């Protein structure tokens, strides 16, 4: 009888220990990503935008993804920079050149309203790197604080959104080595702070707009290897 009771007691203890073990394993480690709803370093909207960006651009196959969806500190995730001083902090830079991003660039990036730099180029990366594809999101034109937009050497197709002409703070625009078609938008002449405009190595066609003459700060202009014409711009 005692042997039976002892066996029953051992079973009960083992069950209890197993339950405790499961409960302990379910408790996330300190700093472990627990979902955007529990993050306070940035706003819920910005965290969700980063989460969407990660998944839509093949985040699990990036070469470098330190912290992404693993840490509760998005401002410390690889390639991310946030403004200091304000709370919650604002994402100001996404810089992931040559990092094997694939898929499409989600429009949710436009929710990062204080973004200054968006750099996802693959110049010199070699053919083994993946590339982004699809259309350029027109909603990027809402990022009025954007100063640098470099998306060179990807596989973007479709046209250059005229909404990019609203990026009044832009200093550098690089869309070279893609598969972009259609005209150069005349609205790019509104980018009066632009110093670098690189649209080379695409399939752009038609006349080069006279509005580009308004870019008085322009230092570097590259339109070669397209199907463009345009009088004095040729």
Averaged confidence pLDDT in the chain: 87
- Residue 39 sits in the same domain as residue 26: no
pLDDT above 60 for 77: yes
- Residue 124 sits in the same domain as residue 59: yes
- Residue 178 sits in the same domain as residue 131: yes
- Residue 23 sits in the same domain as residue 86: no
Asked if 156 and 133 count as a contact pair (C-beta separation under 8 A), the reply is yes
- Residue 64 sits in the same domain as residue 176: yes
Host domain of residue 13: 1-30
Residue 129 per-residue DSSP state: S
CB count within 10 Å of CB 108 equals: 18
Asked if 164 and 140 count as a contact pair (C-beta separation under 8 A), the reply is yes
- Residue 207 sits in the same domain as residue 186: yes
Asked if 203 and 175 count as a contact pair (C-beta separation under 8 A), the reply is no
Model confidence over 140-166: pLDDT tens digits? 999 999 999 999 999 999 999 999 999
Strand order in the sheet with 220-222: 80-82, 91-95, 117-119, 148-150, 172-174, 196-198, 220-222
- Residue 81 sits in the same domain as residue 22: no
How far apart, in Å, are the Cα atoms of 22 and each of 15, 16, 17, 18, 27?
A: 11, 10, 9, 6, 9
- Residue 18 sits in the same domain as residue 77: no
- Residue 26 sits in the same domain as residue 130: no
What pTM was estimated for this model as a whole?
0.85
Model confidence over 101-150: pLDDT tens digits? 999 999 999 999 999 999 999 987 766 789 999 999 999 999 999 999 99
Q: Quote the CA–CA distance of 158 and 206 in Å, as a whole number.
A: 15
- Residue 119 sits in the same domain as residue 20: no
Block residue for tokens 């370093």: 41
The CATH number that applies at residue 70 is: 3.80.10.10
- Residue 66 sits in the same domain as residue 25: no
Question: Quick one: average pLDDT of 171-199?
Answer: 98
Of residues 152, 150, 59, the one with CA closest to residue 102: 59
- Residue 61 sits in the same domain as residue 11: no
Give me the half-sphere count of Cα atoms (radius 13 Å) on the Cβ side of residue 126.
2
Tell me the pLDDT band of 188, cut-offs 50, 70 and 90: very high
Asked if 234 and 212 count as a contact pair (C-beta separation under 8 A), the reply is no
Counting the structural domains of the chain, the total is: 2
């Amino acid at each position: 009888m005692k042997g039976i009771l002892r066996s029953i007691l051992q079973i009960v203890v083992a069950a209890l220990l197993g339950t405790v073990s499961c409960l302990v394993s379910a408790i996330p480690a300190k700093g472990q990503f627990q979902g955007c709803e529990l993050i306070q370093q940035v706003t819920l909207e910005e965290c969700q935008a980063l989460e969407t960006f990660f998944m839509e651009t093949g985040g699990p196959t990036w070469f470098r993804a330190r912290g992404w969806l693993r840490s509760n500190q998005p401002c410390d995730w690889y390639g991310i920079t946030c403004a200091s001083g304000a709370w919650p902090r604002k994402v100001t830079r996404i810089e992931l050149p040559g990092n094997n991003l694939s898929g499409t660039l989600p429009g949710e990036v436009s929710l990062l309203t204080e973004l200054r730099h968006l750099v996802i180029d693959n110049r010199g990366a070699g053919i083994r790197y993946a590339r982004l594809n699809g259309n350029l999101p027109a909603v990027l034109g809402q990022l009025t604080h954007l100063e640098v937009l470099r998306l060179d050497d990807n596989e973007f197709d479709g046209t250059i959104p005229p909404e990019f002409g609203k990026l009044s703070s832009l200093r550098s625009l690089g869309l070279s080595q893609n598969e972009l078609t259609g005209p150069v938008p005349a609205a790019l002449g509104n980018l009066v702070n632009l110093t670098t405009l690189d649209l080379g190595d695409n399939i752009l066609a038609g006349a080069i707009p006279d509005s580009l003459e308004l870019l008085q700060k322009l230092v570097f202009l590259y339109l070669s290897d397209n199907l463009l014409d345009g009088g004095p711009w040729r």
